Amino acid sequence: MSSNQSTMLLTLHSIRLLGFADTEAVAKRFGQDSQQVESLLIEAGSKGWAARSSFGGSRGWSLTVAGRTENERLLAGELEAADARAAVTSVHSEFVPLNTDIVAACSWLQLDRLSRENQQNDGMDHQTHQTFTDAVAPFRGLETRLAGALPRFGGYAQRLDQAVAKAATETTWLIATDRDSFHRIWFEFHEDLIATLGLQR
């Protein structure tokens, strides 16, 4: 894979993982130069792979259908070049039961919070905290294996640790959508994993 293909892969993949993001956020996701990313986004826009629009008072980029297809093509090329399909497939199979537990825990927590009158700055009980904490340990092992084959997978576990630590005093750090919450990071990792393998949710 050429250098330009590699940087375009990371740029398109950043948008896919973030869903909707401005240039700075797209560049920050994989530590790319913001000026280079701006040029790549303009190129992606001219090729119909990305579209810039306004949403909720913010301007940002999102992938088009053609952009998603191109992203998957580049990911498949990266996977083949790194000879990493077996490793990523193995991690995915081990991640599935972990994902089932976390999705259930997040759903329960969302319903529990809806039943409470005071939903601000509430601490979580020990059992709930332990569910998320327990998931991070095996997850860290999966990330290590993935990052050994595809370095761009590094960093998720550290972000999850930070979310759990903050959630000890504010439960919203587990399930909120307006910050780097546990659920948001977990969802992003799942999207990263299935995108890399060319799977559907």
CA 183 vs. chain centroid, Å, equals: 10
Residue 67, CB-side half-sphere exposure with 13 Å CA sphere: 28
Predicted TM-score of the model (pTM): 0.89
Tell me 21's DSSP state.
B
Identify the residue with better confidence: 131 or 198.
198
Return the pLDDT at 192. 97
Q: What is the pLDDT of residues 164-193, one digit of tens each?
A: 999 888 888 999 989 999 999 999 999 999
Q: pLDDT tens-digit profile of 122-151?
A: 555 567 778 888 999 999 999 999 999 999
Minimum mean pLDDT among 36-50, 99-113, 121-135: which range?
121-135
Average pLDDT, the chain: 90
Output the pLDDT for position 114: 62
Return the pLDDT at 120.
52
CA 72, 153, 162, 138 torsion-angle sign: positive
